[in-house]
Chain A
Amino acid sequence: QSALTQPRSVSGSPGQSVTISCTGTSSDVGGYNSVSWYQQHPGKAPKVRIYDVSKRPSGVPDRFSGSKSGNTASLTISGLQAEDEADYYCCSYGGTYWVFGGGTKLTVL
């Protein structure tokens, strides 16, 4: 149940693209296609942006996309907008547990 590894921070200018990585193990990220990504603005509850590695819930802009290769999942946000500035967390199912990443602070310059 060790936390997934994410970069502490990423940044980008409006209109650019950023990618956030999330590294786990073969017991979680690599073993299941159940990786999800959550966006959290300060003082707010998290909201899902991506589930099942690459699926977007209804209402989530197609600027958000997800992928996975081996034990590493990635979230890409294209066409950055000011409102994308937030903390992002990945999460993976591990059979008998769930595990989150440490979180990545996205700054829109």
Chain B
Amino acid sequence: EVQLLESGGGLVQPGGSLRLSCAASGFTFSSYAMIWVRQAPGKGLEWVSSISGSGGITYYADSVRGRFAISRANAKNTLYMQMNSLRAEDTALYYCARITVATFDPWGLGTLVTVSS
């Protein structure tokens, strides 16, 4: 069974940093591009970043470019998101998902990031 499990969320002060992880299982991780999507409380979905299977190609939303860094460790079947200079507006549930045939499937359950003093 294909599964994704996010971790690393928590409460952080504005300006602080967090590193999210997404552990993948049930598929050949290195063969798939991956994505991070976030959802602020009561709001819609927002694409954050995506990375190719090899890790050599990355893309970012304008809202996080220069502050967030996506990476992956294919030997560990794990996707990461290093988040720096966090702002209140980064507060959200962060999902990871596998990109397959130009769609996102499956999704993890998400990890909650709260940026507050």
A interface vs B, CB < 8 Å? 1, 3, 34, 36, 38, 40, 45-48, 51-52, 55, 57, 87, 89, 91, 93, 96-103
Contact = CB atoms under 8 A, between A and B. Distances in A.
Contacts of A57: 103, 105
A48 to B, nearest CB: 5
Which 4 A-B residue pairings sit nearest by Cβ, starting from the closest?
A51-B103, A34-B102, A103-B44, A45-B107
A59 to B, nearest CB: 11
B102 A93 contact: yes
A78 to B, nearest CB: 21
Contact of B108 (A1, A34, A45, A87): A45
A21 to B, nearest CB: 15
Contacts of B46: 100
A84 B44 CA distance: 18
30 contacts: A1-B62, A34-B102, A36-B103, A38-B45, A38-B104, A40-B45, A45-B95, A45-B107, A45-B108, A47-B105, A47-B107, A48-B104, A48-B105, A51-B101, A51-B102, A51-B103, A52-B102, A55-B101, A57-B103, A57-B105, A89-B44, A91-B103, A91-B104, A97-B61, A98-B35, A99-B47, A100-B37, A100-B44, A100-B45, A103-B45
Interface of B: 35, 37, 44-47, 50, 59, 61-62, 95, 101-110
Contacts of A93: 102
A68 to B, nearest CB: 13
A100 B62 CA distance: 14
Nearest to B60: A97
B47 A100 contact: yes
Contacts of A40: 45
